[in-house]
Amino acid sequence: MIKAGIIGATGYAGNELVRILMGHKEVEIKWYGSRSYIDKPYAEVYRNMFQIVDDVCLDDNMEELADQVDVIFTATPQGFLAGVLTEEILSKTKIVDLSADFRIKDVSIYEEWYKIEHKSPQFIEEAVYGLCEVNREQVKKARLVANPGCYTTCSILTAYPLVKEGLIDPNTLIVDAKSGTSGAGRGAKLPNLFCEVNENMKAYGVATHRHTPEIEEQLGYAAGKPVTINFTPHLVPMNRGILATEYATLVKKPDGSLPTSEEIKAVYDKYYANEKFVRVLDPGQCPETKWVEGSNYVDIGFQMDARTGRIIMMGALDNLVKGAAGQAVQNMNLMFGFEEAEGLNMVPMFP
């Protein structure tokens, strides 16, 4: 057994971490960190944990926590981990950070998009971007993992094989994504009130959303060159789920013809056939958020559009599981040599 601590345990992603780790045979949670609920029983914050979790919430003292656990999950706002991380902490414990503090390698881009100063840029180069299906071997050796965002996980995995194989022009990529309201966190905010969200759908962060440079950077590695995309997120009135619909121009073959649907499917299978948590649908099938809810799966589908020479790629995942806590546990499993799917074999919930 290893010991785990969670900073930010009373946020939505933090509670999802607790739910998943309670079913993990190799992990014991030793620290439920929450600045807002210090000394309050965790089960009073989340009644779903009644008679399951008896612990009280503790503070966010990373130095003290590092002495007590083998891994720390930081489900915290941007800037928290960067503001407290030291070499002494990293020498004692491994960290999976669910914020964006160490996802972007260029500190100036991070500071431009997040509008805060990065307090520990010396750790950025070391941090491994924890998209397990792409960086599995690097994650295994890491002591600091930057857990990808929910929009980015869905957007990148949906397009990655076709970008990597040069079948689409990545600079024509348009990502139109929708998210349930839990993606905005548990804090009380006017735009997230029931009357504001219910019976409504809206775009936000148009041309300015902070996940844009993260998607561009990772797809740029796949393409072997800088990539510029359009990314537009939308808020929809549901609790969980992300659906990304992505459009890109197909690259013609030397004879001037377009790739066939069978060739596209073969490329997806090349990358994902052996990936437990990525399910590639048959051509013409469209992913739906309801078929991945509560699970660590990503469903991916596509449709060719020969008339326009484009392809429509679609991905669906649960933003709190594969888009946050589930992926964090998947990363932890790799870091400690556990079976990668341990604790994550949840069948999607329906209805």
**In angstroms, rounded to a whole number, what is the distance separating the alpha carbons of residues 220 and 119?**
26
| pLDDT for 185 beyond 90 | no
Residue 240, pLDDT score = 96
Q: Name the average pLDDT for the chain.
A: 97
* Amino acid identity for residue 214 in this structure: E
150 is catalytic: yes
| pLDDT for 188 beyond 80 | no
Q: What is the 3-state secondary structure (H, E, C) of 221-285?
A: HHHCCCCCCEEEEEECCCCCCEEEEEEEEECCCCCCCCCCHHHHHHHHHHHHCCCCCEEECCCCC
| pLDDT tens-digit series, residues 5-39 | 999 999 999 999 999 999 999 999 999 999 999 99
| pLDDT tens-digit series, residues 38-50 | 999 999 999 999 9
Q: 337, 311 in Cβ contact below 8 A? A: no
Average pLDDT of 165-182?
97
Report the 10 Å Cβ neighbour count for 267: 18
Average pLDDT of 83-110?
98
Instruction: Give per-residue burial for 274-298: e unless 16+ CB within 10 Å, then b.
Output: eeebbbbbeeeeebbbebbbbbbbb
**Domains of the chain, earliest start first:** 2-126 (3.40.50.720), 151-319 (3.30.360.10)
Asked whether the CA dihedral 108, 211, 272, 176 is positive or negative, the reply is negative
Residue 179, pLDDT score = 97
pTM above 0.85, yes or no: yes
What confidence category does residue 187 fall into, taking pLDDT thresholds of 50, 70 and 90?
Answer: confident
| pLDDT tens-digit series, residues 230-276 | 999 999 999 999 999 999 999 999 999 999 999 999 999 999 999 99
pLDDT top residue among 88 and 185: 88
Residue 192, pLDDT score = 83
| pLDDT for 147 beyond 90 | yes
What confidence category does residue 106 fall into, taking pLDDT thresholds of 50, 70 and 90?
Answer: very high
Selecting among 57, 132, 150, 154, the annotated active-site residue is 150
What confidence category does residue 191 fall into, taking pLDDT thresholds of 50, 70 and 90?
Answer: confident
Residue 186, pLDDT score = 85
| pLDDT for 163 beyond 90 | yes
Residue 311, pLDDT score = 98
Percent of the chain residues past pLDDT 70, beyond the cut: 100
Residue 245, pLDDT score = 98
| pLDDT tens-digit series, residues 305-315 | 999 999 999 99
> Among candidates 219, 237, 238, which has minimal Cα distance to 229?
219
Strand partners, 97: 74, 146
Residue 238, pLDDT score = 96
